[in-house]
Structure 1
Amino acid sequence: MTNRTVIFLLLIFFVAGYLVPGCELSGKEKTDLVAPVNAGFIVPDTALIPNDVFGNEVRYGRQLLLNTAYYIGPNGTNGQYLGNKMNCTNCHQDAGTKPYSFNLISSHDNYPQYRAREGKILTLAERINNCIMRPHNGRPLPLDSREMVAILSYLKWINSFVPKGAAVEGLKNMTIQFPATAASPQRGKEIFTQHCASCHAGNGQGQLNADATAFIYPPLWGSQAYQPGSSMHRIIKMARWLKANMPYDKVSTGKTFLTDQQALDVAAFINDDAIHDRPNPQTFDYPDSTTKPIDYDHRPFSDTFSAVQHKFGPFQPIIDYRKANKLAVDY
């Protein structure tokens, strides 16, 4: 083969790399090679809600998150679907837009998704009803109801502020480091009395507004609180939320007050089933034991640790064991 022939063949391959579709990376492959843009914190500007039919539903959906009990609570003006008088924003603060507070800004993009708790794929509407039935002890909204459509519209609208493929800060609750000791309900009670009881009351029953239609500060246990099947009933899950958000008058975005140990201790006190009752205590989930979060304390388990350790910790030995045995680690 002559040098001229070699050069000619190289030119053909070079040009083919640009012209032949099969030689080009697909859109997905290109995306995978590029690190996601860090979009930082995103808080949608409600002044930008459109003034049209869709915008009206977005506004109503936002109001439903802020004033859930007023509209669909036990004495709701637009229906009675909740079993208590809590509002969605008690946990999903600022109508689901506050960072590190069960943020909802990307939820419209993330569903349908597989949920280990139910052992199946859920739509976003089903996930919304999951919250209506568990933390709110209610009955599901009809999928074609104005309320469901409005909530979905609102979630779609806030999701529109997220750049495609961007990494948004504060979507997940804050991370915590696990201490070597178990979380202590006794220590948690002391912290609760000092920093939490002034709002949630010493008996944990919260404070209602003036006309008793909704809680200003939600109950943390008792018949009006969330069920055991709720995310807040898991100690790590609650501790990560507490670290970023409580006490509300002592924290700001990125600035915490409680230490990791204190957050775990307070969560342990609030969720200690030996001293605090809850509605519907038979709500048990995770049909596949291998997918249970490490702080879910109902048997059977796919590891060797007790229900007490799954409940209160120490958690690092569970994590180490599960990693060593190639088991899922979720919390």
Structure 2
Amino acid sequence: MQLTSCSGSNAEETTNAESAAAEKLVSIDTTKIPGGKYGAAVRYGRELMLHTAYYIGPEGINGHYTGNKMNCTNCHRDAGTRPYAFNLVRSFKDYPQYRAREGRILSLAERINNCVMRPNLGKPLPLDGKEMISIMAYLKFLSDSSNVAQVKKGIKNLEVELPDVAASSDRGEVLYAQNCERCHAKNGEGKMRFDNVTYEYPPVWGLLAYRPGSSMHRVVKLAQWLKGNMPYDKTEVGKPFLTDAQALDIAAYVNDDKKHKRPLPKTTKEVDYPNYDEKAIDYDKGPFKDPFTEQQHKYGPYKPIIDFWEGKGITPTI
């Protein structure tokens, strides 16, 4: 009886400790990057995340791989360490991973090149090149950090509650003017830094912004990111400024391809979501294996789409 009692107590303490760890925000101490050649690779990988355009942009000093002057940290804020901002601390552990968008298992290097080619409009980094190896070394350091538990708040983006009505590009246009225009400009072109190397505030549409097929081009996905991060000077970590509905409406406006131009894929052979029943609910290009239109997939209301797939025993991708 005594042994059972101790065992139960220890198990309860372990469960409580794990629960407490799960409630802590994800954090990384970059002062603990090691020395030596591995540490040098980690540091360069972090530099590439922060200053992508300077090193490998159209006028990069170490190669011309990205096709615009955006930086990885524009989306993966604080070089992938900021909570609720496409956090990257688990990416080295999470890959290889099945990706519905490609319909196959992707390696981490392939996923990195996805970002280089899609939002950054570039060409693939050589798999054995210094840049790819350094980015992967940096992601390994993030994954190995003693401050990163199995589950912590901030690794995933904040969720948004999906309303019973569609997101509105027209409402979003008003909200954009109120909250976003001062940095990203009226025409969405952003603000170039004084030295023309990169952006102080990146473009959110136009021919030098992320292209269709990028994660940010999905309304719900962008809304989740906006909720956790924008406006940058009014939002604290885990304390949004925008409401869920406002984030969805701004995302609808920013991603309204009828109002704004975006760069096109470089090849017509590219096929996203080859398995139609795996498409994210807010991916807006048919065909679909459900009765809903491209318009509804893009802007909602999303609940009927979710109900349809859950009724078939399938958990839809959000």
Q: TM-score, normalising length from structure 1?
A: 0.87
- What secondary structure is seen at the aligned counterpart in 1 of 2:305? helix
Structure 1 position 164, deviation (Å): 8.1
Large movers: runs of 4+ above 4 Å: 34-37, 162-165, 281-284
Structure 1: distance between partners of 2:162 and 2:99: 25
Structure 2: distance between partners of 1:177 and 1:116: 23
Deviations 1:205-255 (CA, angstroms, capped at 9, x unpaired) = 001111111112110111100010100000000000000000000001111
Mapping of 1:1-331 within 5 angstroms?
Answer: 37-38=21-22, 40-161=24-145, 166-280=150-264, 284-331=271-318
Is the contact made by 1:183 and 1:313 (CA closer than 8 Å) also made in structure 2? yes
Structure 1: distance between partners of 2:146 and 2:284: 36
Structure 2: distance between partners of 1:108 and 1:129: 14
Structure 1 position 327, deviation (Å): 3.0
Q: TM-score, normalising length from structure 2?
A: 0.91
Structure 1: distance between partners of 2:118 and 2:55: 18
For the structure 1 residues 228 and 296, does the alpha-carbon distance in structure 2 shift closer, same or farther, using more than 3 Å as the test? Answer: same
For the structure 1 residues 62 and 163, does the alpha-carbon distance in structure 2 shift closer, same or farther, using more than 3 Å as the test? Answer: closer
Structure 1 position 317, deviation (Å): 1.0
Structure 1 position 284, deviation (Å): 4.5
Structure (1 or 2) with the larger CA radius of gyration: 1
Structure 1 position 35, deviation (Å): 6.5
Structure 2: distance between partners of 1:189 and 1:94: 28
Is the contact made by 1:100 and 1:171 (CA closer than 8 Å) also made in structure 2? yes
Q: How many pairs does the alignment contain? A: 300
Structure 2: distance between partners of 1:163 and 1:97: 11
- Which amino acid is the alignment partner of residue 132 of structure 1? V
Structure 1: distance between partners of 2:30 and 2:151: 22
CA RMSD of the aligned region, Å?
1.8
- What secondary structure is seen at the aligned counterpart in 1 of 2:98? strand
Is the contact made by 2:167 and 2:301 (CA closer than 8 Å) also made in structure 1? yes
Structure 2: distance between partners of 1:202 and 1:140: 32
- What secondary structure is seen at the aligned counterpart in 2 of 1:167? coil
